[in-house]
Structure 1
Amino acid sequence: MIRSMYSGISGMRVNQVKLDVIGNNIANSGTTGFKTQRVRFQDMISQNMGSASGPSRNLGGVNPRQVGLGVQLAGIDTVVSQGNMQPTARNLDVAVDGNGYFMVARGETTFVDGIRIYDTADPKDFQLPTDTKGLDIMFTRDGSFTLDHQGNLLNSDGLRVLGYSLIGSTDAKDKPEDVDAESMPVGGTGELNFVDADSKKLHASGDLRTLKIPETIKVTTAGGTEDKRITSFSIEKNGVIKATLEGGSKAVIGQIAMASFKNPAGLEKMGGNLLKSSPNSGNAIIRAGVIPKSENPDDLNPSNEAGYGDMLQGVLEMSNVDLAEQFTEMIVATRSFQANGKSISTGDEILQDIINLKR
């Protein structure tokens, strides 16, 4: 009799957790990029009332006789399916149509060299190094970005968005043969930019940096160097930020970085639409920057662009919470909670009858 009461307690406990998770899912049904969670149960250890025995000459086999001792939490899983896309017509809103994650960071950003994610001697190594230059790097699906007065690209909480500076040489002797003079890199606000550049011909560094969208960039022309104001910009599907300058010329400012994981369901939620890697999510695999495509198979040409998805400008990914499913699960959890409570009250009534036998 006592066993049934304790089983009822365990059932009420896990169903309370399930209701907590359902309530959180419903509360975040409008949260950008939120991934719903589900609760799984498993039975607890059973008490053996009789062991199993095999068939003998005179008798057949006997199954084990066991009494279960309740239920316990098996896991709380994150469902990482794609959420619906919501157009916003805002040029700083970006959604990921695929499996990738944006990278944002907190910390000192005055470093010069950036965070090297791969060595040209080993093009398959696209993971974050141990030394992240003091930056606390996190991941998110929330692409509702903003700018500060310095032009830094930020998330809603002021964390800086990481990406690449597109680099090249202003020296004519380093000019690639397949890039015409109008596509040569030019300096701008401490970084090298490409004017009127074909994205297939861009060189990108393997260094993660915080991204900026400045008001002006320096453009080197035949007549000298001059500052040109950025009138607008667009974000390509591969994350390349392409600015339109006064006069109609184009300049590539940088590229937004993306990360993916072997097991994205293993990421830990940190609040604020932020995630961090865990021992079971695996290390972040970083998408390399845009690089030139070589026709020579012997040329080192590291690239891992596949499997991250496309960036969609002017769109936000909504929560993947299905309210109909959540309310149905809420009814099931509520009834299960009530049933377990009834088993406790029924056990109490029987115990009361046993106590009354003495009277």
Structure 2
Amino acid sequence: MMRSLYSGVSGLRVHQTKMDVIGNNIANVNTIGFKSSKVNFSDIFYQTTQSATGPNGETGAAGQNAMQIGLGSTVASIKASITQHGGAQRTDDPYDIMISGDSFFIVNSGGTNYFTKAGAFDIDGAGTLCTPSGAKVMGWQVDPKDEKRILAGTVSELNIMSPENQYSKPEATTAARIFGNIDSQDPQVASTGSGKNVTVEFFDSLGHTYKANYNIKQSSATDTNKYTVTLTDITDDKGKSIFATYNETTKKYEAKTGVSATFGTGSGTVAVDPDTGKVTLTGATSSLEFNGVTGKFESVGGTAGNKTVTLKATTSPDPFKNVVIDFSTITMFSESGSSSLESAKGDLNNLGAGKKVGNMNGISIDTSGKIYGKYDNGDSRLLGQIAVASFANPAGLEAIGDNMFAQTLNSGEFDGIGHDVSRGGGKFTTGVLEMSNVDLSQEFTDMITTQRGFQANSRIITTSDSLLEELVNLKR
């Protein structure tokens, strides 16, 4: 009877433990990345009252099985369902990421690497990708020798919003084009007219915007197929000429020293009106020729078949690059006496357009975990890559709270480097979170059977107590 009492007590204990696990599962039914656990029981110990004997051929006695009395149950294991995925919840937050596959995010807290399935990330005050509990998301950095390549080495924190990542470097314009149509009957482009003005915008190597102003008109009244392209001025983004400066001492405008411009083979000569500051640039010219029969472009710069002319502005210091201007798409067709000319940065393949300084206006993360900064100058820059870790026995990881796991002797070791999530077919999905994998229907079913098991074991104790009571009453 005493054995049944202790067996009942052990049964109560293990069922209470199972109920504790079920309660924790249900409490975390809406915890992102949570992995449910289940409890397995085992019998614990047996008292052998008679050992087994084999058949005896000499006496003819048959064999007998052992007689054993069990002494209760114990918890054999509490196993987390690590590899079972939870449902996907759409959030549309670019920093929310779900892993498809068996790998884990690597996060660092207090100098120690931990692992998680919860991809609800954010940016801290230092611009580092982190978890809500303050652990830093780990990954790989950009190769300093090649900004378009990731250097897969020992994982480190992803400081994607660092000051140096807030801006995208500018690039000087090296190519531009003037396109449209010149009508030879347009009085504006006649040799006696004012000429057709065209503005070519370009960037210097610091990202500042400038405009080169051109005037196009016929070279002579007798040959309407040939035109002269004249550089008249270069102005900054405020509309001020780079060739003129105001002298505070004399209160007059004057030509700025060390500034010059060359267009084609002609180097411009600058004259500045001292009172108005108006710039007159002469000598920076090039010829433009069309086919008088077809109206198609033939050459620019006086060389047959030549399509481009180079603009070079020089200052001290000199942030300008040579800008090769393409005229090959200009035509000379009739348009009822009017001409239409435009310009664009970049060549016909849109190369060499340059760009201004870019301010970050967005972040994107692709399916392989590569993080790109988006800038308002149209640039896209690689900032790093989220690395992941995999384990031979993920169920051997130890849950430490805050949706994090730690490696153990039975989980396998993290090598400090990790791997690309796409290895083995995994991927990242942004704007989505992996929810808890708790199955409420299963948990409620387990709760019922656990309650009945607890109830049955309590009956063992009360029944054994009744037997003891009857035994004590025998003395009366």
* Deviation larger for 228-237 or 94-103: 228-237
1:330 match: secondary structure: helix
Question: How big is each residue's C-alpha offset from its partner over 1:218-253, in whole Å with a ceiling of 9 and x where there is no partner?
Answer: 426344356421222211111101222212221111
Residue 35 (str. 1) matches residue 35 (str. 2): yes
In the TM superposition, residue 34 of structure 1 has moved relative to its aligned partner by 0.3
Counterpart code for 2:88: M
Residue 11 (str. 1) matches residue 11 (str. 2): yes
Query: 1:218 and 1:313 mapped to 2: Cα distance?
Result: 24
**Residues 220 and 247 from structure 1, CA distance in 2 versus in 1: closer, same or farther, beyond 3 angstroms?**
closer
Aligned to 1:211: 158
Question: Which residue among 136, 139, 144 is the counterpart of 2:112?
Answer: 136
Query: 1:66 and 1:308 mapped to 2: Cα distance?
Result: 52
Is contact 1:99-1:308 (8 Å) kept? no
Aligned to 1:97: 100
Question: Which residue among 68, 71, 74 is the counterpart of 2:70?
Answer: 68
Query: 2:90 and 2:384 mapped to 1: Cα distance?
Result: 24
Is contact 1:258-1:308 (8 Å) kept? no
In the TM superposition, residue 40 of structure 1 has moved relative to its aligned partner by 0.5
Aligned to 1:190: none
Query: 2:399 and 2:69 mapped to 1: Cα distance?
Result: 38
Counterpart code for 1:287: G
Query: 1:203 and 1:2 mapped to 2: Cα distance?
Result: 69
In the TM superposition, residue 213 of structure 1 has moved relative to its aligned partner by 2.4
Query: 1:337 and 1:61 mapped to 2: Cα distance?
Result: 38
Aligned to 1:293: none
Question: Which residue among 200, 204, 224 is the counterpart of 2:205?
Answer: 224
Aligned to 1:279: 409
In the TM superposition, residue 74 of structure 1 has moved relative to its aligned partner by 0.2
Structure (1 or 2) with the greater helix fraction: 1
Counterpart code for 1:260: S
Counterpart code for 1:94: I
2:14 match: secondary structure: helix
Aligned to 1:294: none
Counterpart code for 2:134: G
Query: 2:436 and 2:470 mapped to 1: Cα distance?
Result: 52
Question: How big is each residue's C-alpha offset from its partner over 1:155-176, in whole Å with a ceiling of 9 and x where there is no partner?
Answer: 001211111111142xxxxxxx
| Structure whose CA Rg is larger | 2
Question: How big is each residue's C-alpha offset from its partner over 1:97-119, in whole Å with a ceiling of 9 and x where there is no partner?
Answer: 11111111124xxxxxxxxxxxx
Alpha-carbon RMSD: 1.7
Aligned to 1:131: none
Is contact 2:368-2:427 (8 Å) kept? yes
Query: 2:422 and 2:452 mapped to 1: Cα distance?
Result: 48
Question: Which residue among 314, 329, 335 is the counterpart of 2:431?
Answer: 314
Aligned to 2:263: none
* Deviation larger for 25-34 or 230-239: 230-239
Query: 1:225 and 1:31 mapped to 2: Cα distance?
Result: 49
Aligned to 1:122: none
Aligned residue pairs, count: 289
Query: 1:308 and 1:144 mapped to 2: Cα distance?
Result: 22
Question: Which residue among 353, 357, 373 is the counterpart of 1:243?
Answer: 373
Residue 335 (str. 1) matches residue 465 (str. 2): no
Query: 1:288 and 1:10 mapped to 2: Cα distance?
Result: 46
Residue 84 (str. 1) matches residue 87 (str. 2): yes
Is contact 2:168-2:360 (8 Å) kept? no
Compute the TM-score of the two structures, normalised by the length of structure 1: 0.77
Structure (1 or 2) with the greater strand fraction: 2
Compute the TM-score of the two structures, normalised by the length of structure 2: 0.58
Counterpart code for 2:470: D
Is contact 2:141-2:150 (8 Å) kept? no
Counterpart code for 1:224: S
Counterpart code for 1:91: P
Query: 2:150 and 2:130 mapped to 1: Cα distance?
Result: 24
1:24 match: secondary structure: helix
2:142 match: secondary structure: coil
Question: How big is each residue's C-alpha offset from its partner over 1:302-351, in whole Å with a ceiling of 9 and x where there is no partner?
Answer: xx952372111000000000000001001101111010010110000011
% identity of equivalent residues: 40
Query: 1:225 and 1:323 mapped to 2: Cα distance?
Result: 61
**Residues 32 and 249 from structure 1, CA distance in 2 versus in 1: closer, same or farther, beyond 3 angstroms?**
same
**Residues 259 and 279 from structure 1, CA distance in 2 versus in 1: closer, same or farther, beyond 3 angstroms?**
same
Query: 1:354 and 1:205 mapped to 2: Cα distance?
Result: 76
* Deviation larger for 146-155 or 279-288: 279-288
Is contact 1:99-1:307 (8 Å) kept? no
Query: 1:77 and 1:288 mapped to 2: Cα distance?
Result: 26
Query: 1:49 and 1:101 mapped to 2: Cα distance?
Result: 52
